[in-house]
Chains A and B, each alone.
Chain A
Amino acid sequence: MRTDGFVSQFADLFDEYDVLGAFWVNIQLTLWSALFATILGTILALFRISPVPSLRWAGTAYVNVFRNTPLTIIMVLLSLGVWTQLGVKLSGDFATNFFRFGVVGLSIYTASFVCESIRSGVNTVPIGQAEAARSVGLSFLPAARLIILPQAFRGSIAPLGSTLIALTKNSTVASVVGVSTETSSLLKNMIEFHSSLMVAIFLTFALGYVILVIPVGLATTALSRRLAVKR
């Protein structure tokens, strides 16, 4: 009888709260941030491997600053500093505004890791490859396009995969900037009002993340193994 009560109570929770919807918010945050972080991170990586000292310096400074700042502080700065005190608005609608700030914070933070992943990919290419490319007469662009970058890309799949996994989990921190519909806020609400069921509630959310994250890990590991340059 007790289990029956437990099961029906637990099932009622899903009518009352939109758990899947919350996960969908996190997925959206992750996808938008992945897009912008990839763009920004690639630009930064180009900066850091370019022969131009000022660009290299700018790339290094960016990475050192944002890789060492807690994501939480970036989010709080965005909401209490940039939004409240500097009056920057990204949308007239409150919810959209917070969502966009969440994407901005996640992108700024994750870009530094994307940059380092790409750079570590370039670092896996042995210098002999470049020397061989030069000696068969390829100039800079063809050597980069045909010889170096394809190998570098393969080398960066695994670290990019773990960056994507971390981004997925970090999307919960968007609650700090005011995104109130995502999973960590919902978890907090549900536990607060149904503390007798809190273990089951937590395990449900945890399982959701396991389901989201593990396939990404498996896929990128398999991909990077399959594409690995045999040396």
Chain B
Amino acid sequence: MSTQNVLFDAPGPRGRRAIMVGNVVGVVVVLAVLAVVARRFADKGQFAADLWTPLVHADAWTNFLIPGLVDTLEAAAMSIVLALVFGLVFGLGRLASSRAVRWVSGTIVEFFRAVPVLLMMIFFFYVFAVYNVFQSAYVPLAAVVVSLTLYNGAVVAELVRSGVHGLPRGQREAALATGLTSGQSLRSIEVPQALSAMLPALLSQLVVVLKDSALGSAIGYTELLQQARRLGAKDGNMLQSLLVAAVIFIVVNYLLTLVAGRARRRRRRSDSGQGANGATTAVATDVGVTPITGLGEGGRI
């Protein structure tokens, strides 16, 4: 909305006519694209009822899609909790007063942010399988959770760091003035504020975790995508099953995005509502939302 205001004036009569024409053209183009896709589906007989009806049967849901979704959510929930722990430890490490600790934490965080999650999953899958770290039934789950934890934990560590850096200097100065040590100030004054400012960003990160958990299908984890493939192979309707799985992912992630957006607005509102008192947290909010370290909203993939 604000973008509109920046680029465009309120349209006059001529402008409104142009917008109307553009509107119609837009609708026609979108419909044309959809028509091409539908045509292709029809040509290949993909609208045939017997390809779609298995997906509304109870069997598809109770034996494939719902167990798959449960496994996806399970892996995502474990990963985000562990990532929070990992992120707190290494986020604090990056803020430590000891140079060696800062350097080690920084290296670990940068390393896990740079390595593709799929490579980690493949590696941990074989590590756990070859060295019998987990019972063989749990090896794919463990590989998925460990990989997602390491990558997202590194992202959370950056969120913690930028959240603390975004706090007003007075917070730390006041803490030190009351006699807290610098570590105590970090743990009991600065990080708690950064954490509450991080909540919306953390929810957005959960979307990333959910999406990346689908990589687990490459190492045989029975999450939603894998189950949809099994279902499609069983009924011979791969395209249709995958589309249903994609819709489930989109709905879950979209709802999470909405919740994250609401949390974000709520923080902003409560900050502005508090007036002078809220001024300190207002600064923290903004930084928590758009971390400086090259992890802007758009980059959260």
Contact = CB atoms under 8 A, between A and B. Distances in A.
A159 interface: yes
A119 B239 contact: no
B2 interface: yes
Interface stretch (A1-9, A13-21, A94-102, A167-175): A167-175
A103 interface: no
A117 B299 contact: yes
Contact of A55 (B5, B26, B257, B301): B26
A80 B229 contact: yes
Interface stretch (B85-93, B193-201, B246-254, B280-288): B246-254
A51 interface: yes
B9 A175 contact: no
Classify the interface of chain A: helix, strand, loop or mixed: helix
Contacts of A40: none
B298 A162 contact: yes
A69 B249 contact: yes
B44 A54 contact: no
A198 B218 contact: no
A25 interface: no
A163 B41 CA distance: 32
B144 to A, nearest CB: 12
Contact of A54 (B15, B30, B46, B250): B30
Interface residues of B, number: 68
B3 interface: yes
B4 to A, nearest CB: 6
B176 interface: no
Interface string B191-234: 00000000000000001001111110110000001000100100
A69 B246 contact: yes
B172 to A, nearest CB: 24
Contacts of A28: none
Contact of B119 (A68, A167, A205, A217): A205
A191 B116 contact: no
Interface of B: 2-9, 11, 15, 19, 22-24, 26-27, 29-30, 40-41, 44, 46, 110-111, 113-119, 122-123, 126-127, 130, 207, 210-215, 217-218, 225, 229, 232, 238-239, 242-243, 245-246, 249-250, 253-254, 257, 293-301
Given A64-B257, A113-B299, 15 more contacts: A53-B23, A55-B22, A72-B217, A76-B229, A77-B246, A80-B242, A81-B238, A85-B239, A158-B294, A162-B295, A170-B116, A172-B118, A206-B114, A209-B115, A217-B294
